[in-house]
Amino acid sequence: MQLSSKTIAFVLANTMAVLMALYIAFASDLERPYWAMFTVFIVANPLTGAVRSKTVFRLIGTVTGAAMALLLIPPLVDAPVLLSLAISLWVGLCLYMSLQDRRPHSYAFMLAGYTAAIVGFSAVNTPNAIFDTAVARVEEISVGLVCAVVAHSVIFPQNVLKGLTERIDRALRRCGTWITDALAATQSSDLQGQQQLSKLVSDLQILYEHVSFETSDVPRNASVVWALQDRLALILPRVSSVQAALAALSAMGPLTGSTLQAIEAVSQWARATPGAHGALPSHAESEALAALARLSAQSEDGAEWSSLLKRTVATQLGELLTDLSDAVCLADALKNPFATSTPGPRLEPPSRRSLSGDRGLALLSAFAATAGTLMACALWIQGSWPEGAVAAQFAAIGCSLFATLDNPPKVLFVGIVGVLLALPVAALYEFAIFPRIDGFASLALVLTPVLLLFSWMQASERLAIMGFLLAISFAGGLALQESYRPDFAAFINTNTAEIAGLAIAAVVSLIFTTIDPVWNAARISRAGWNEVARLADRPNRDIRQWTLRMFDRLGLVLQRLLAAKRSDLVGPRIDGLRDLRVGINLATLRRSSGALPTAARQSMNPVLNAVADAYLGLAHGKPLVGAGSERAIDQGLAVLRAQAPTRTVEDIVTALVGLRLDLTPFGSRYTPPPLNS
Amino acid sequence: MIGEIQFDGVLIPALLAVAVEAFLVLFVLRTILRRLHFYRFVWHAGLFDTALYVVILWLAVLVRMPFHSFGVGP
């Protein structure tokens, strides 16, 4: 809300872009200059990279949509029902495609959908001019886009990275706190924080796509971001597995010397690390590593449960240490890309990664968009309503634009309020101010105050959607054209149609896409359980990609549960961190057991099958904890005891212990069989 | 630069074609400059790129211009 220099720069740039777009559109005699005007508002974003990427995708989407309208209108113009059906289906199809993925390019698909509706429906009365209409729309939008890009890139651009690095810093500091909390055995689960970290990891993915569109001075190092993402996604599961192992250990009796020492050393390190920019406190790190080495050395040969647990604690803490210090290094590398002095962690080769879209919901939203557009078309055709085209356009826009939000009807109602609020302002301009002015200079002068106001609203976080809607409906209501043609009846008719279209969209999404957040959280969790089962079933799945997806799910589930104030539901069934732990252990088991002799390797198969069964059972409503997995894991541990204690065997043992902690009732202990049997 | 290019029956202003070409040139040039870490020495990359684009566009138009318009041709 405050008037920072960033906000001022954005507001000025945006206002200038709008005026520039209007001037060019008027000067080149375009049919509807107000299209250029609201295009600027649509792509406006305080982040330059976001403006530039949205511009590219909007251009692609508009051209595709206009081309589709060009293809559909001539053959179908005499069959209104077929035409409505075709365009509605196209809108739905495009929306479905766009919801497959949350990356910025999905915008192009959505736009291709409703641009076809906009161009197509506005051309039905003059089908001969369809080509001109389509070209005019593309021209007007391009003018708006170019103006927005130039203004936002030239006038004090803000890059995406800056905000992201600030959030990364905050997240790393919080990770340090989590580690100390977990080691101090304070049983507080910071669900809010977990959700924020998950959102950050997903945002790193989504927002980083904008960076390749940033101004040239912003460094592109995607591999650093990806590596950072992988590390950040692993920290929470690792912290929680340390927590679980420690809880099991303290249930067996008070913690002893070396364990306490290791805990103390690692806590010290975790307190110091995330705050230290660049210069890692190396003595704290080496001390922590030494304490961990002592802990695992001390419990080296023991096969009983407590030594296994101690070794697990040591291994997990070691991995946690590596991950967090890598993450700190990578965050520094992201901030100062040219300081190559610190030896960074090894960067994995980049892999194709995407966040899962929700197929089922995408289908539902697509269906809603088709239904909404069709409904508006039916009113238009049945009622011979001259402005029905506008209603159909706005129904398509309303259903598409807000489909990604959690609660579309609410935003749509806000949109209707926005139109109603913008109406009097637009009317004031149209019927009181415009008759008194002449020429572009005075037009610019009278428009500037409102443009400044709307831009300022868009810059602030809370008012962004409201500002956007006000700007759009103001521009639409004004419908600035070449010469001043006051027509009060048309003004009212068009705006009523706009409101009707948005209301239809609101009703349709109220019926189809309003989903109980708790139910949705359960649904997302179930998809995650099936993923765990699949990971156990099939070899060679990319664990990094899997972890990111699961971590993203964790955030989505928590977000919904927190919004519904039902965080009490996180427990024996819904527990994203447990699923992640199990998955990571499964991946270790799979990867490392390849190095075992054949007989031992085959004895791991029952474990994998048992885990897969347990998770499939969970997805079908049974409890996760069962005797089957306990037996399989115990047998696996017994087999491994006969193997030479190499590094690989140790890894597998740790993974099995981790699985046992999650899949057996709390307090259940493993008792090793006597060696000679 | 007055004139239109015919593309599959659609008339496109020649300046638009040149502008797109100039943008492609800018795109390549930007990638090269970025690889060379050239932008470390630029105060305002957005402004620099915009100016660079105008220069490239001007050069492209100049190259396309028939000679007589310079006043040196026959």
- Whether the predicted pLDDT of A279 surpasses 70: no
Mark yes or no for CB contact B49/A215 under 8 Å.
yes
A121 & A175 share domain:
no
Residues in chain A: 677
Q: Which chain A residue's Cα is nearest to B11?
A: A135
Give A514-526 pLDDT, tens digit per residue.
778 888 888 888 8
pLDDT computed for residue A149 by the predictor: 92
pLDDT computed for residue A352 by the predictor: 61
Q: How large is the average pLDDT for residues A124-143?
A: 87
Task: Decide if A559 touches B, using CB distance below 8 A.
Answer: no
pLDDT computed for residue A23 by the predictor: 93
Task: Decide if B69 touches A, using CB distance below 8 A.
Answer: no
Q: Does residue A345 form part of some domain?
A: no
Average confidence score pLDDT of chain A: 82
Tokens of A91: 């809108």
Rounded to an integer, what is the distance from CA A203 to the centroid of its chain? 5
pLDDT computed for residue A356 by the predictor: 67
pLDDT computed for residue A518 by the predictor: 84
Mark yes or no for CB contact B46/A215 under 8 Å.
yes
Neighbours of A354 (CB within 10 A): 13
Higher pLDDT, A568 or A60: A60
pLDDT computed for residue A540 by the predictor: 66
The DSSP secondary structure of A253-310, one letter per residue, reads: S---HHHHHHHHHHHHHHHHTTTS-SS--HHHHHHHHHHHHHHHHHTSS--SHHHHHH
- Whether the predicted pLDDT of A56 surpasses 60: yes
Q: What is the DSSP letter of A349?
A: P
Asked if A547 and A580 count as a contact pair (C-beta separation under 8 A), the reply is: yes
Asked if A664 and A326 count as a contact pair (C-beta separation under 8 A), the reply is: no
By mean pLDDT, which of A4-13, A57-66, A359-368, A540-549 is the weakest?
A: A540-549
User: Which of A495, A512, A529 is a domain's end point?
Assistant: A512
Q: CA A643, A646, A647 angle in degrees (round to 5)?
A: 135
d(CA A318, CA A311): 10
Which residue, among A156, A215, A221, would best test binding to B if mutated, counting the most B CBs under 10 Å from its CB?
A: A215
pLDDT computed for residue B73 by the predictor: 43
pLDDT tier, A377 (very low <50, low <70, confident <90, very high otherwise)? very high
Q: Does residue A292 form part of some domain?
A: yes
A·B CB contacts under 8 A = 31
Q: Note which residues in 54-93 of chain A have CB less than 8 A from chain B.
A: none
Chain A residues with CB-CB distance to B48 below 8 A: 216
A39 & A86 share domain:
yes
pLDDT tier, A164 (very low <50, low <70, confident <90, very high otherwise)? confident
- Whether the predicted pLDDT of A663 surpasses 70: yes
Mark yes or no for CB contact A218/B45 under 8 Å.
yes
Mark yes or no for CB contact B50/A216 under 8 Å.
no
The DSSP secondary structure of A527-558, one letter per residue, reads: HHHHHHHHHHHSS---HHHHHHHHHHHHHHHH
Nearest to A481 by CA among A26, A21, A23: A26
Mark yes or no for CB contact B45/A48 under 8 Å.
no
d(CA A639, CA A662): 20
d(CA A203, CA A210): 11
pLDDT tier, A131 (very low <50, low <70, confident <90, very high otherwise)? confident
pLDDT computed for residue A84 by the predictor: 92
By mean pLDDT, which of A232-236, A270-274, A522-526, B34-38 is the weakest?
A: A270-274
Nearest to B47 among A48, A154, A338 (CB): A154
Report CA-CA distances (Å) from A353 to A156, A227, A547, A549: 32, 12, 11, 9
d(CA A498, CA A477): 9
Q: How large is the average pLDDT for residues A156-175?
A: 82
Q: Note which residues in 3-62 of chain B have CB less than 8 A from chain A.
A: 30, 33-34, 37, 39-40, 42, 44-50
Q: Does residue A346 form part of some domain?
A: no
User: Which of A274, A300, A335 is a domain's end point?
Assistant: A335
| DSSP-based three-state secondary structure for A383 | coil
Give A498-514 pLDDT, tens digit per residue.
889 989 999 998 888 77
Asked if B4 and B13 count as a contact pair (C-beta separation under 8 A), the reply is: yes
* Alpha-helix residue ranges (DSSP H) falling in A212-256: 222-251
Mark yes or no for CB contact A338/B39 under 8 Å.
no
Mark yes or no for CB contact A157/B46 under 8 Å.
yes
pLDDT tier, A677 (very low <50, low <70, confident <90, very high otherwise)? very low
d(CA A393, CA A36): 17
Residue for token pair 């101004």: A215
Q: Which chain A residue's Cα is nearest to B30?
A: A216
Domain boundary assignment for chain B:
4-70
Mark yes or no for CB contact A216/B47 under 8 Å.
no
A502 & A539 share domain:
no
A153 & A164 share domain:
no
A202 & A154 share domain:
no
- Whether the predicted pLDDT of B1 surpasses 70: no
Q: Which chain A residue's Cα is nearest to B43?
A: A217
pLDDT computed for residue A482 by the predictor: 67
- β-partners of residue B7 are B10
pLDDT computed for residue A636 by the predictor: 81
A289 & A427 share domain:
no
pLDDT computed for residue A86 by the predictor: 94
Neighbours of A664 (CB within 10 A): 21
Chain A residues with CB-CB distance to B39 below 8 A: 216-217
Q: What is the CATH number of the domain that holds A256?
A: 1.20.58
Q: How large is the average pLDDT for residues A125-136?
A: 85
Q: How large is the average pLDDT for residues A382-390?
A: 86
A164 & A149 share domain:
no
Q: Does residue A235 form part of some domain?
A: yes
pLDDT computed for residue A341 by the predictor: 47
Tokens of A231: 């590390």
Q: CA A243, A249, A254 angle in degrees (round to 5)?
A: 115
d(CA A451, CA A372): 31
**Count of structural domains within chain A:** 3
A259 & A138 share domain:
no
Tokens of A1: 């809300």
pLDDT computed for residue A261 by the predictor: 80
A125 & A95 share domain:
yes
Chain A residues with CB-CB distance to B50 below 8 A: 150, 153-154
Which residue, among A216, A218, A336, A338, would best test binding to B if mutated, counting the most B CBs under 10 Å from its CB?
A: A216
The fraction of chain A above a pLDDT of 90, given in percent, is 13
Give B2-43 pLDDT, tens digit per residue.
577 787 777 888 888 889 999 999 999 998 998 888 888 888
Chain B residues with CB-CB distance to A216 below 8 A: 30, 33-34, 39, 42, 45, 48-49
Domain that holds residue A83: 5-158+358-512
